[in-house]
Amino acid sequence: MIPSQRTSPAPVPAWRAEFYAPVASFRDPLFPGLTRGLPVPPPSTVRGLLAAATGEPQEPVVLGMAACSEGDGVDTETYHPISADGTNPSSGGRVRAVKGGMTIRDRPFLVGVHLTVWLPEPDGERIARALRRPRWPLRLGRSQDVVHLKDLGRVELEPAKAAVVDHALAPQDGHPVGTAFSYRMASRVSLDRLTTSWSDYLWCDEPTGEHPVSGALRDPDGGRAVWLLAL
């Protein structure tokens, strides 16, 4: 598990970025062959979003995040596997149907995805500048899932012993909320996509109100809990 950064005895200057995606889909890779979806974007996906903004291959920054969606659904898609050896040039490299090619699968998706990311200094200001004029189009998940930057501003994160947990992504020992779900998600993916680092997180799908927290800070705007995750 990747630990969160311990609570600082002094306020932590940071930038808060608010994003909105009309539609997004986060496939759970722990279920190969199945199209099981995650209800919250993995930290690795958020790191990819920031990397698109800065133009850097990876963004190994400390960040806090919270996410929720307005609804969900299931779509039916046609998949066309590509030959690994480059054969089948007449069909664009696609595997023929008689050899395990085209297939129909269900794809879970989320609608109205709201994502908040907290970026402490010293990286916060650099990434905030990039978000205003991103190097590459901003996506949340798949290449067609466009995400919009709604708001961006400075904030002073305060030390906290209690805060509003709600939809914040927290480490396993972050809070005692009984309705929280535990998810194992990717925290980092190597450039060649051959190595994935995994971590266990707590996430609540419903508002929770204020609860005792461990290792968290608090956003003064609404008293929301923020766990700064060292990814």
pLDDT score of 123 more than 90: yes
Q: Tell me what percent of the chain is helix, strand and coil, each rounded to the nearest 5.
A: 10, 45, 45
Q: 49, 26 in Cβ contact below 8 A?
A: no
pTM above 0.75, yes or no: yes
* Tens of pLDDT, residues 153-173: 999 999 999 999 999 999 999
Q: Which of 51-60, 84-93, 169-178 has the highest mean pLDDT?
A: 169-178
In sequence order, which ranges of 42-136 are alpha helices (DSSP H)? 43-54, 123-132
For 105-131, what is the mean pLDDT? 94
For each of the domains in the chain, give its residue range(s) and CATH number, in order of start. Answer: 12-69+112-230 (3.30.70.2660)
Confidence of residue 142 (pLDDT cuts 50, 70, 90): confident
Percent of the chain past pLDDT 90, that is, above it, reads 64
